[in-house]
Amino acid sequence: METQKSGAKDFFINLGAIVALYTSVVSLLNLLFTAINTAYPQITNGYNYFGSQSISWPVATLIIFVPIFLLLMWLLEREYKTNPEKQNSTIHRWLTYITLFFAGLTIAIDLITVLYYFIDGQELTTGFLLKVLVLLIVVGSIFVYYTSDLRDKLTAKSRVFWRVFTGVIVIGSIVWGFSVLGSPRTQRLYKYDEQKVSDLQNINNQVTNYYSTKGALPKTIEEMWSGDYYVTQMTDPQTKKPYEYQKTSEKTYSLCAEFNKATPKGTESNDIYAPRVIGNETWTHPAGQYCFKETINPNTYPYPKPVPTF
C-alpha cells in the first residue's frame, strides 16, 4: 500500500488531534483517580500531608480539549472520505503507531502492577482495583480504536459509536466526580477552609517564634504584631472577621476560625476526625466554629537567657 505524503494542513490536524487526545486522557484519569481516592480513601498510619482534592483543573481541561479532539477527528474523517489515500499518510501512521505503543505499554504496566501486588501478598483494595479497571477501560479503548483504524475496520457507524462512547465516558466521569467531591460551590468552600488553615498555621508559627524569643506567650495577636512578628493574614478572607487567638495558660493557647466543611475524606486516615498531621501539628477540623488547642513545649523553644556578668 502506497504511503501518502502529508501537507502542512494534514500534519497539524493529525498532531492537534493526538495532543488533544493525550491531554484529555491524562485529565480524565486525574479526575477519576481523585474521585476514587476520595470515595475509597487509603488507610494509612495517619500521617498525611495537607493537600487539595480539587477536580477543577481536570474538568476544565476536559470541557475544552474533548470537543477539540472530536472536532479534529471529524475533520480527519471528512478528509478521508474525500481522499481515502490520506488515511495512509506518513504523519497519520507515525502518530497512530506511537499512540499504540504508549497505550500497549500502559496496559502491560497496569497488568504487571496487579500481578505484582497479588504475588507479593499485598492487599488489593477496592480503590486500587477501580484504578486498574479505569486505566484498562480508557487506555484499552484507545488501543482498540487505533488498531481498528490501522486495519481500515472503522466505518461511519463505528466512528459515531466511538464519539458517543467518548462523550458518555467523559460526561459520566465529570458528573461522578462532582457527586463525590461536591459541586463547584462546595469546592469553593473547601478552598476557603484550606486558606483559613494556612493562615492559622502562619499565626501559630509566629506565636512559637515569639515564645522562643520572649519566653512567654503573647496576650493578643496585636501584641505580637507590635513586636515585629509579622502575621501575613489576620482576618478570615471569607467572613472578613479577625481570627481568634486565646491565651489559655502560660503554655497553652487556642487558634479559632469558622469552617464551612469538615475535613474531607481522603486527606487523612480512615476517619474525617482523625488527626491530619502537618509537621508536628494536627489541623483536622469539623464544620462550624472550631478552635485548635496548641501547647508550647519549653524544651523545644528555649528563649535566650541573660549572660551573667562578673
Same domain for 128 and 198, yes or no, is no
Decide if 91 is inside a domain.
yes
- Whether the predicted pLDDT of 278 surpasses 50: no
Domain boundary among 182, 203, 238: 182
Same domain for 166 and 37, yes or no, is yes
Instruction: Indicate the range of 118-127, 244-253, 295-304 predicted with least confidence.
Output: 295-304
Round to the nearest angstrom and report the end-to-end CA distance of the chain: 100
**Domain assignment of residue 236, given as a range:** 186-295
Decide if 300 is inside a domain.
no
Same domain for 125 and 97, yes or no, is yes
Domain boundary among 166, 182, 198: 182
- Whether the predicted pLDDT of 40 surpasses 50: yes
Residue with the three cell numbers 503507531: 97
* Mean pLDDT, range 65-94, rounded to an integer: 87
- Whether the predicted pLDDT of 52 surpasses 60: no
Domain boundary among 182, 203, 218: 182
Q: Is 301 exposed, middle or buried (0-12, 13-18, 19+ CB in 10 A)?
A: middle
For residue 182, what pLDDT is reported?
80
Q: What is the total count of domains within the chain?
A: 2
Average pLDDT taken over every residue of the chain: 82
Instruction: Indicate the range of 112-121, 140-149, 162-171 predicted with least confidence.
Output: 112-121
Same domain for 56 and 142, yes or no, is yes
Decide if 307 is inside a domain.
no
Same domain for 177 and 197, yes or no, is no
Same domain for 228 and 79, yes or no, is no
Decide if 306 is inside a domain.
no
